[in-house]
């Protein structure tokens, strides 16, 4: 059996200040990794920084991950701080706002794709040269909406998350011979996140939970535990996959 220990590994979690990203950063740190995070609107709280400091001085960088210049700056900081990066978790993303096809204009369409898909591309492209060729891991956080289309008004969001599936599969083939794995996650309804606090009504939450066979909403830790495994040596033969985390709500 291989261990889930991540001692002496380094990780960057984008959007790590809150919700799923925060839980991922904490899980990787508890497993022994030295973790850096990026954030934009959700600045990390002191409790998070204190816990991350157990593995060394925490690196938390404010960044607009849709900006090539700012992403290049993050990549330079990671190289300066860590040298080699072992784990990249592309977690930045968001719905921005609900809009049907009739309501979407081109600016909003581009904004949603930029927040979800451009960020994944830019972070990966700039950081790939720093990723370890012995046990490198790239983990992209997509969404169940990429499979199902999501709730009404999620057209652009679902499209961008489905794009992450394709990006993951294609990149996994490009970097497999370098010892780097690339996988994606498709979380379903995960409570206690800014996404649902902002865009989902209490009635919609309750109705959604009724459709989940395990009988509850997901929690950020449900996603973080899968990331912890994908980051470990135990997942070395897993690449190009999309792992569904939805309590049986959607089965392929």
Q: How far apart are the C-alpha atoms of 100 and 106, rounded to whole Å?
A: 12
Instruction: Name the phi and psi angles at 139, rounded to 5.
Output: -125, 120
Phi, psi dihedral angles at 184 (to 5 degrees):
-125, 155
**Residue whose C-alpha is closest to residue 190's, from 148, 224, 163:** 224
The reply to whether 250 belongs to the active site is no
Name the active-site residue from 39, 82, 157, 189: 157
Quote the radius of gyration of the chain (alpha carbons, Å): 17
- Can you spell out the DSSP letters for 202-249? HHHHHHHHHT-TTSS-B-HHHHHHHHHHHHSGGGTT--S-EEEESTTS
List, by residue number, the catalytic residues.
157
């Amino acid at each position: 059996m291989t261990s889930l220990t991540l001692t002496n590994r380094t990780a960057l979690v984008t959007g790590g200040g809150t919700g799923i990203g925060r839980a991922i950063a904490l899980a990787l740190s508890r497993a022994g990794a030295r973790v850096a995070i990026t954030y934009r609107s959700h600045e990390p709280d002191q409790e998070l920084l204190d816990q991350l400091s157990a593995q060394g001085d925490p690196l938390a960088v404010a960044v607009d991950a849709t900006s090539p210049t700012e992403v290049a700056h993050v990549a330079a900081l990671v190289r300066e701080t860590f040298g080699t990066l072992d784990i990249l978790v592309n977690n930045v993303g968001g719905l921005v706002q609900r809009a049907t096809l009739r309501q979407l204009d081109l600016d909003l369409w581009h904004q949603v794709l930029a927040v979800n898909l451009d960020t994944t591309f830019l972070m990966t492209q700039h950081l790939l040269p720093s990723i370890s060729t012995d046990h490198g891991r790239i983990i992209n956080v997509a969404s169940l909406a990429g499979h199902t289309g999501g709730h009404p008004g999620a057209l652009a969001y679902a499209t961008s998350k489905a794009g992450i599936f394709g990006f993951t599969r294609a990149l996994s083939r490009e970097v497999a011979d370098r010892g780097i794995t690339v996988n994606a996650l498709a979380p379903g309804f995960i409570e206690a996140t800014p996404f649902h606090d902002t865009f989902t009504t209490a009635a919609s939450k309750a109705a959604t939970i009724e459709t989940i066979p395990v009988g509850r909403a997901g929690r950020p830790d449900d996603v973080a535990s899968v990331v912890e495994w994908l980051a470990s040596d135990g997942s070395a033969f897993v690449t190009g996959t999309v792992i569904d985390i939805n309590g049986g709500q959607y089965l392929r």
